[in-house]
A and B are shown apart, each in its own frame.
Chain A
Amino acid sequence: MITATPRKDLLLMGIFTLAVLTMPIWLAPIGASYPDLLQRFAIFGIFAIGFNILFGLTGYLSFGHAAFLGVGSYTAVWSFKLLSMSVVPAVIFGVITSGLFAVVIGYISLRRSGIYFSILTLAFAQMSYNLAYSVLTPITNGETGLQLSLNDPRALDSLVGVTPTSGIPPTNFFGIEMSGYSGFYFCAILMIIGFYISMRIFRSPFGMMLRAVKSNSNRMSYTGLNMRPYTLTAFVISGMYAGLAGSLMAVTDPLAGAERMQWTASGEVVLMTILGGVGTLIGPVIGAGVIKYFENIFSAINENVLHGIFDFLPEILQDGAVAVLSLFVGEGWHLTLGMLFMLIVVFLPGGMVEGFTRIYSRIRNKNNKNNGEAGSVGSAEVQPGE
């Protein structure tokens, strides 16, 4: 059995940190080490880690978390326009504002559970999306999206005497430009911090209460626990993670559009979490990575690339292979993702992490047998660590 201990968690944290920081190196062979994609891995990793605190621990499935993503983005861009091109206030305000939104939306939505909760959050997000296009145009700049301009006030910047010499100044972290790899490392470090916080929550009494909500909310009340503040806190924390992710989108690319709040974006984070492993620590990060990888790499493969790959085959076979496979790449990458998703849900309800755990325990069982020990990996045992 794998039980979480402080030492094992430290080890996990170390491995995670190392793996994230060296992503530009080990992702190079699969063509995923360019900064733009790396940034997206980190940003959606944060989004999914936060979503999992709500969905994975309490079981409350929000279909509206993209709203907080959008709120974070708009807030960050406004911070760039009004205050400073420094990313520090942008990120702080992005997190706070989305947290406040989450308090209101959570307070109302959490009066219901199950499908009704999901529908309420979906309704709120779609409402925000439509408002961003219509009534809120003065704040969101409607369809065009909110952009920076040369004559933005940038009050803090001009206060310290920073005036742009030519063009719109770049977003920066104490002078370091937030584009390319430095942008990735900024997002990556925030993801590592976000992962650490999530780990603390998972191991804490608070996290245990959130699991109790998911497992049996009746027993929870008759045990003297007030469920509502627990679920609301989890909702707000996950909303703040989404806000952080949204503001980081603006940090690496300073514009914000309403499409960020679309229900498809809310659905995407659900897929990421389920694909990686609901309620596991590392699963959502893996799920986010896999989906973003498919989106960027598979969608870029076209028939020419396929012809190149199958060049060694005789022409008829080559055409056949390309005709079949081209269904799954390019525009058709959703098909591949959809099939992968179905396979995972049907055969590995615990997501990819469950797959890894199974392989791990099979190897360990084999080793135990070889050593003549009693291989006792009881399937009934709890495996909170991963």
Chain B
Amino acid sequence: MGILEVRDVNKSFGGLKALNKVELDVEEGSVHAIIGPNGAGKSTFLNCLVGLLIPDSGSVNFNGNSLLGIKPHEINQAGVSRVFQTPEIFSDLSLLDNVVIPTLASRDGAFKLNGWKRADQDSEIIVRAEHMLEDVGLIDKRNMHAGSLSRGDKRRLELAMCLVQNPKLLLLDEPTAGMSRADTNNTIDLLKRIGERGITKVIIEHDMHVVFSLADKVSVMAQGTVIAEGSPEGIKGDPRVQEAYLGGAHL
């Protein structure tokens, strides 16, 4: 059964049709990659899934429930986490706090008036957060300001912030952009490992090495529409895809 079912989603910005009848089915537990040239509408599509944008028409169902018209925090509490194209982290806080906050959110819900306990004495939360930082290789920097991290490290931190919530569906917008080859490979390994936990992933990626190492299925977007869909191998040879990528220079 599809954990995410998107039907006929349209979104215009003024005269620009950013999304045109987008359809997408994501299988539970799979890794679904979305590729496509710059400006194809990939990020706009993710924005429509997490409540950042409201589509002009169409439907988005997650586990059988519509995600349209509910608030971003409710979508997250339902089990959808997102890594943004430009990392969204708490820059003024320490790395540990950055991970503690989503951990608290997943345990205590959208609001809890917890003003008398010490956050640093909540060992259950701290242990979970520290394990997560260890997993992404940032544990040594746990007391640093998140704002002082390199771009690649910020991405890994944001990934940790999402993963620590154990989401059912993880949306990744170019999680390896700005990373060195070595860091990219580390991230691929990490994403493979969490694949074993059964987290469904939708991943937008320009780096074909990442796509082919991870994806079970690939959708190709161009000019706001899904123009092709299939297995990574099938997509490679598809002439429409090569055309969208200007003669397949990227493939």
Is B219's CB within 8 Å of the partner chain A? no
B55-83 vs A, CB cutoff 8 Å, 1 = contact: the mask equals 00000000000000001110011000110
Residues in A neighbouring B180, C-beta threshold 8 A:
none
Task: Establish whether residues A382 and B110, one from each chain, have CB atoms under 8 Å apart when the complex forms.
Answer: no
A227 to B122 alpha-carbon distance, docked (Å): 22
Nearest Cβ distance between residue A203 and chain B, in whole angstroms? 5
Stretch at the interface among A27-35, A213-221, A264-272, A297-305: A213-221
12 contacts between A and B (CB under 8 A): A200-B115, A203-B120, A206-B115, A208-B104, A209-B101, A215-B90, A216-B88, A222-B82, A223-B76, A224-B77, A227-B73, A378-B144
What's the minimum C-beta distance from B156 to chain A, rounded to whole angstroms?
15
> Does B165 lie at the interface of the complex (its beta carbon under 8 Å from any beta carbon of A)?
yes
Q: For residue A229, which residue of chain B has the nearest CB?
A: B111
Does chain A have a CB within 8 A of B106?
Answer: yes
Measured between beta carbons, the chain B residues less than 8 angstroms from A92 are none
Known: A205-B104, A382-B93. A221 touches B73 (CB 8 A): yes
Shortest C-beta distance, A27 to chain B (Å), equals 32
Contact with A along B134-146 (1 / 0, CB 8 A): 0000000001110
Task: Flag if B122 contacts A205 (CB, 8 Å).
Answer: yes
Q: What is the interface residue range for chain A against chain B?
A: 35 or more
Residue interface mask B102-146, A partner, CB < 8 A = 1: 101110111111111111111000000000000000000001110
B100 — which chain A residues lie within 8 A by C-beta?
A: 208
* Contact assessment for B110 and A224 in the assembled complex, using a CB-CB cutoff below 8 Å: yes
Task: Determine if B110 and A212 form an interchain contact, defined as CB atoms under 8 angstroms apart.
Answer: no
In the complex formed, the residue of A with least CB distance to B82 is: A222
B145 touches A226 (CB 8 A): no
- With an 8 Å Cβ cutoff, the count of chain B residues facing the other chain is 45
* Residues in B neighbouring A200, C-beta threshold 8 A: 115-116
Closest residue on chain B to residue A380 by CB atoms: B148
Say whether, besides A6-B121, A216-B90, A230-B111, A222 and B116 are in contact (CB < 8 Å): no
Q: How far is the CA of A215 from the CA of B93 in the complex (A)?
A: 8
C-alpha gap A244/B147 in the complex (Å): 37
> CB distance B72 to A222 under 8 Å?
yes
A224 touches B89 (CB 8 A): no
What is the chain B residue whose CB lies nearest that of A221? Answer: B72
B92 within 8 A of A: yes
> What B residues does A220 contact at CB under 8 A?
73, 101
The answer to whether A224 touches B165 (Cβ under 8 A) is yes
CA distance A90 to B66 in the complex (A): 52
A204 & B72 in contact (Cβ 8 Å cutoff): no
